[in-house]
Amino acid sequence: MLHQSDTFSILYYMLLIPIQWKSAANQFLYPPEYQSHFSGLVLSHEKIRARIRELAALLHQHCQVHARARPLLVCTLKGACTFFVHLTEELQLLRQGFDVEFVRAKSYVGTESSGAVRLLLGQEDADGLEVLEHFKGRHVVLVEDILDTGTTLEKLVPVLHEKGQPASIQVVTLLDKRLKDGTEKKFKADFIGFSIPDVFIIGYGLDYNELYRDLRDIFVISQAGIEFDAKKLHDG
């Protein structure tokens, strides 16, 4: 059930995004321990999946027209993992071939972009160098969950170019946050699923301090969700 905790912020969000209030609790499926941890729905699972189908069609078209080569799909862990699974499923239905690779980037602490991005790329060889041998000469499609300030991709994409030497890198992001007061993003994606307002969201792979990635839908986190101690779920 949605918990109407903070009336002011709920009204504020309703002006910006079409938050859907659902009266029947069973219309959402989520673990019972998350009761009262959301203040509103941003995107339903069905809406996300429908848009991913469209994104897959766009990527398929792009691969046929521009690259004419089998793309290397690169998932940025952990947030993009759910999006990645469903995107690759749609590409399979279109008979679009692809290879897969994984990189890891971490920048958020709580609900704020920390500015410092930590990257984990491939394995280390005997000399301690990172190797991205699968990237060489390939048409890479980097799959991101959400593009906020652009700090992560501004750091990640040049590193992939430099160390991996791919033929090209295109970025597909499920979500693109509109920044407050029209601040310019440090990086722009080539394919965007949804443009969303500048609110902190959870679900469908997106976390708040490692919690809520297991939600099917995307919600605005409530104050109770922010204050919840995740360690309570680890014991017993």
Which residues of this protein are in contact with ligand IMP, per CB under 6 A? 79, 107-108, 113, 144-152, 200-201, 206
Q: Which is nearer to ligand IMP, 51 or 131 (CB)?
A: 51
Query: Which of ligand IMP, Mg ion, none binds 147 (CB below 5-8 Å, type-dependent)?
Result: ligand IMP
Show Cβ contacts of residue 36 under 8 Å, excluding neighbours closer than 6 positions: 1, 3, 5, 222, 224, 225
Tokens for 166, please give them: 């791919």
Q: Annotated active-site positions, please?
A: 148
The nearest distance, CB 4 to Mg ion, in angstroms, is 30
From the list 36-44, 54-62, 115-123, 138-146, the region that binds Mg ion by CB under 5 A is 138-146
What is the rounded distance in angstroms from the CA atom of residue 164 to the CA atom of residue 135? 5
- Residue 148 interface partner, choices Mg ion, ligand IMP, none, CB cut-off 5-8 Å depending on type: ligand IMP
CA proximity to 75, closest of 209, 148, 172: 172
Regarding 148 and contact with Mg ion (CB under 5 A), the answer is no
Q: Look-up: residue for tokens 């979500």? A: 175
Give least dist CB 95 to Mg ion, A: 28
Q: Which is nearer to ligand IMP, 108 or 228 (CB)?
A: 108
Report the partner that residue 200 touches, choosing among ligand IMP, Mg ion, none (CB closer than 5 to 8 A by kind). ligand IMP
Tell me whether residue 88 is exposed, middle or buried, using C-beta atoms within 10 angstroms of its C-beta: 0 to 12, 13 to 18, 19 or more. middle
Q: Does 145 bind Mg ion (CB under 5 A)?
A: yes
Stretch 59-118 residues interacting with Mg ion (CB under 5 A): 76, 79
Which CB, 10 or 148, lies closer to Mg ion?
148
CB of 144 to Mg ion, least distance (A): 6
For Mg ion, which is the closer residue by CB, 145 or 176? 145
Judged by beta carbon, residue 133 or residue 214, the one nearer Mg ion is 214
Q: Is the Cβ–Cβ distance between 105 and 152 less than 8 Å?
A: yes
**CA dist 60 to 55, 133, 157, 227, Å?**
9, 24, 22, 42
CA dist., res. 112 & res. 125, Å (int): 34
The DSSP annotation for 57-108 comes to HHHHHHIIIII-S--EEEEEETTTHHHHHHHHHHHHHTT---EEEEEEEEEE
Q: Which residues bind Mg ion (CB under 5 A)?
A: 76, 79, 145
